[in-house]
Amino acid sequence: EVSSRNWLAIEIAASQSWASQKGGSTTETVSVEARPTVPPHSSLPVRVALYKSNISYPYEFNADVF
């Protein structure tokens, strides 16, 4: 039986940890919903693009001046 209502669910989960001297990890949940119309017995290409950037480059500097 084919429902008259078509739906698409996408779940993307990620957890990334940093294995450095001052390591840490972060997790964020994002939810987005789309309701495309797809004819029965057919397919629809789906593209999901995710962009997020939060970059920090902490540093220490030591100098001996003679």
pLDDT tens for 24-64 read 556 677 777 778 888 888 888 877 777 766 666 566 556 66
Q: What is the pTM of this model?
A: 0.27
Residue-wise pLDDT for 3-22, tens only, equals: 555 555 555 555 544 444 45
User: Which DSSP state fits 24?
Assistant: E
What pLDDT is stored for residue 38 in this prediction? 85
Single out the residue of 11, 34, 33, 15 nearest to residue 25, CA to CA.
15
3 state DSSP class of 44: coil
Domain range summary for the chain, segments of one domain joined by +? 1-66
State the pairing for strand pair 16-18/24-26. Answer: antiparallel
3 state DSSP class of 25: strand
CA distance linking residue 52 with residue 66, whole number of Å: 45
